């Protein structure tokens, strides 16, 4: 079996202050972008309206598409290229009226036929959601993220200790904040696919944190007198070969989706690719230092004697 980075003795925890400054700065950049440029761009699933993907035989000017729709009363439609100059998406964010989604998409198609001709384009796909459904989907997405926090805390508190649960939950919150900042910086549209990617990142990061914490628990049982600072570093080093191989494999698959899977799946791949990095980062430089800090403030009985040496290490 291939073994890499075996028997390493890297002092990961030593650099936690630099790591904290880096991740806080990144989050602040994302929050600043939110404050300056406004909120996120939501897909039709959340806003309500109609989305059509069109392929033209000859690449048209986006202004002509907009003019054709404006002439028919569909104002403020969002028109964007989709991968190639001949492919466009049209988002009509007005509410779907009593005629329904089919009526709205037929109206857009009719207007484009009048403006370009029936043989000038073809409809690749059509999506339509009413505003009520969009509100329910947004509420469901927020609920799913909050439930994931609660389940994480309960699971780790039962399997390990409440200190581990709090540390892992804060690390998960870090992953969400950094991923949200990343989405805003790249101007990724928030869709159900992106929400699915965000929940996948949470699970991926949590799994990586559990692997490290499980090794920490084993090492604590083997050597109860060892300072937690040393135990955390040793545990991260012992799981490093597994982490490198796992993350490299996951990243290779994600990059394949990013470069070759097309525009529809690309936002999912972007979020997942970043999630692999931030999940690994938080497991080492967020969860572990926070666990160390909690242990110094609320030491267990079998580690109370080593609390002073832990404080000296982190000073």
Q: Which residues pair with 55 in a beta bridge?
A: 87, 122
Residue with tokens 């609390």: 307
Tokens of 66: 């907009």
CA distance 196 to 206: 15
Q: What is the CATH number of domain 13-41+134-314?
A: 1.20.1640.10
Q: What is the pLDDT of residues 91-137, one digit of tens each?
A: 776 544 445 555 677 888 888 888 888 888 888 888 776 666 667 77
Please answer whether residues 168 and 210 qualify as being in contact, where contact means their C-beta atoms are separated by less than 8 angstroms.
Answer: yes
Model pTM above 0.85: no
Tell me if the domain spanning 49-129 has CATH number 3.40.50.300: no
How many other CB atoms sit within 10 Å of the CB of residue 313? 17
DSSP-derived 3-state class of residue 233: helix
Q: What is the pLDDT of residues 126-169, one digit of tens each?
A: 877 666 666 777 787 778 777 877 777 777 777 777 888 888 88
Q: Which residues pair with 54 in a beta bridge?
A: 88, 123
CA distance 202 to 172: 6
Segments making up each domain of the chain, as ranges = 13-41+134-314, 49-129
């Amino acid at each position: 079996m291939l073994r890499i980075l075996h028997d390493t003795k890297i002092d990961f925890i030593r650099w936690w202050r630099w790591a904290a400054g880096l991740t806080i700065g990144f989050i602040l950049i994302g929050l600043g972008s939110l404050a300056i440029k406004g909120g996120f761009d939501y897909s039709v699933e959340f806003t309500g309206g109609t989305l059509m993907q069109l392929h033209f035989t000859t690449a048209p000017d986006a202004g002509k598409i907009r003019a054709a729709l404006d002439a028919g009363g569909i104002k403020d439609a969002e028109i964007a290229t989709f991968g190639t100059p001949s492919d466009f998406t049209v988002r009509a964010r007005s509410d779907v009226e009593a005629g329904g989604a089919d009526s709205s998409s037929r109206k857009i198609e009719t207007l484009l036929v009048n403006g370009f001709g029936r043989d000038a384009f073809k409809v690749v796909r059509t999506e339509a959601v009413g505003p009520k459904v969009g509100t329910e989907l947004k509420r469901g997405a927020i609920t799913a993220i909050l439930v994931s926090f609660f389940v994480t805390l309960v699971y780790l508190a039962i399997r390990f200790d409440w200190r581990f649960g709090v540390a892992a939950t804060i690390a998960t919150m870090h992953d969400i904040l950094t991923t949200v900042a990343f989405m805003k910086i790249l101007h990724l549209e928030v869709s159900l696919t992106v929400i699915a990617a965000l929940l996948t990142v949470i699970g991926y990061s949590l799994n990586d944190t559990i692997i490290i914490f499980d090794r920490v628990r084993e090492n604590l049982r083997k050597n109860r007198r060892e300072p937690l600072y040393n135990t955390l570093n040793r545990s991260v080093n012992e799981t490093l070969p597994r982490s490198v191989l796992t993350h490299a494999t996951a990243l290779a698959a994600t990059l394949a989706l990013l470069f070759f899977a097309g525009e529809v799946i690309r936002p999912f791949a972007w979020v997942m690719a970043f999630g692999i990095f931030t999940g690994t980062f938080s497991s080492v430089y967020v969860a572990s230092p926070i666990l160390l800090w909690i242990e110094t403030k609320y030491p267990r009985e079998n580690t109370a004697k080593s609390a002073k040496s832990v404080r000296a290490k982190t000073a």
